[in-house]
């Protein structure tokens, strides 16, 4: 039925599919046209995000530290952070792996754990921009090796969606920082790259990084 046409997609040939009988398909069979399908492990949409999250083995995965940050709801997203950090560390074989505390401190810095935080261009916990949303769903774009599909702007207010997307984007930013610097980036350089500020010399960037570091240190404090 399906033939490999590349690393990330398969071409599904025209084939019959059973459907409820109707005036259009009185025999209960329709013909599905040839179409492209992403190979599992290179694509997520709303349904597969939910399925993976529900079925993902929690055994041995690392959770972020809890009860350390200031906001009342700071620990509400720990499980999503743990699952999706582990998932993308494994998918991309990231070494050293991304640290769940780093994701949590970034979330603090981006939205103060406010799921519906919005500016004119950025939305949600991880403040994913409308432009980034397009890039992350473009099968020919810069993150074509692992993309999302059927995600709408309003979905970014849903932590179940915005967290895996934010972590996937952070993994890409990590690779990009390495490419720009010509060496493995520090965690702080990855955070600056996520914010689009790796080369910025501004006072604000310094203050924002300082604020991030304090959150991260709180999470690491025993």
Partner 1 sequence: MFFLVISQLGCASSIYRTTSKPKEKNIITVTADRLSLHCEDLQSDEAEYYGFSIYVLDDEKTVVSVIQTNPLDKESCEERLSKIGKIIKNGKQMNIFGYGSLQDPRIPSKDMVQIGGRSFPSNGRVLQFIYITNEKGDCFNGYQTPGKSCAQE
Q: Which residues bind partner 1 (CB under 8 A)?
A: 69-71, 108-112, 114, 116-122, 127, 129, 131, 195-208, 210-212, 214
Would you give the distance in Å from CA 5 to the centre of its chain?
26
Residue 200: count other Cβ atoms within 10 Å of its Cβ.
14
Minimum CB–partner distance for residue 175 and partner 1 (Å): 15
Nearer Cβ to partner 1, position 14 or 217?
A: 217
101 CB-contact burial (10 Å; exposed 0-12 / middle 13-18 / buried 19+)? buried
Nearer Cβ to partner 1, position 120 or 222?
A: 120
Nearer Cβ to partner 1, position 44 or 106?
A: 106
Minimum CB–partner distance for residue 138 and partner 1 (Å): 16
Minimum CB–partner distance for residue 162 and partner 1 (Å): 13
**Residue that has been written with the tokens 């432009």 in this structure:** 131
Nearer Cβ to partner 1, position 90 or 206?
A: 206
Minimum CB–partner distance for residue 210 and partner 1 (Å): 5
- Residue-wise burial string across 174-192, b where 16 or more C-beta atoms lie within 10 A, e elsewhere: bbbbeeeeeeebebebbbb
Nearer Cβ to partner 1, position 14 or 70?
A: 70
Which tokens hold the place of 173? Answer: 């930013």
Length of the chain: 222
Quote the CA–CA distance of 85 and 74 in Å, as a whole number: 17
Nearer Cβ to partner 1, position 83 or 103?
A: 103
Minimum CB–partner distance for residue 98 and partner 1 (Å): 20
Check residue 4 and report its DSSP letter.
E
Minimum CB–partner distance for residue 189 and partner 1 (Å): 14
Check residue 118 and report its DSSP letter.
B
Which tokens hold the place of 7? Answer: 């690393």
Per DSSP, the three-state class of 139 is: coil
């Amino acid at each position: 039925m399906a033939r490999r046409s590349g690393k990330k997609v398969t071409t599904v040939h025209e084939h019959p599919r059973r459907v409820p009988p109707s005036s259009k398909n009185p025999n209960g069979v329709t013909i599905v046209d040839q179409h492209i399908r992403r190979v599992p492990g290179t694509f997520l949409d709303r349904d597969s995000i939910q399925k993976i999250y529900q079925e993902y083995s929690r055994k041995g995965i690392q959770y972020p530290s809890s009860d350390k940050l200031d906001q009342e709801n700071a620990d509400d997203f720990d499980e999503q952070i743990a699952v999706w950090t582990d998932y993308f560390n494994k998918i991309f074989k990231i070494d050293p792996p991304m640290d769940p505390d780093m994701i949590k401190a970034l979330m603090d810095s981006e939205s103060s754990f406010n799921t519906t935080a919005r500016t004119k261009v950025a939305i949600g916990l991880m403040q994913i921009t409308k432009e980034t949303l397009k890039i992350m769903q473009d099968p020919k774009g810069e993150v074509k090796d692992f993309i999302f599909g059927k995600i709408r702007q309003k979905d970014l207010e849903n932590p179940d969606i915005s967290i895996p997307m934010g972590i996937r984007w952070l993994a890409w930013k990590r690779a990009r920082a390495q490419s720009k610097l010509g060496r493995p980036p520090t965690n702080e350089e990855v955070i600056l790259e996520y914010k689009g500020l790796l080369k910025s010399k501004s006072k604000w960037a310094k203050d924002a990084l300082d604020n991030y570091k304090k959150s991260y240190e709180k999470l690491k404090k025993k």
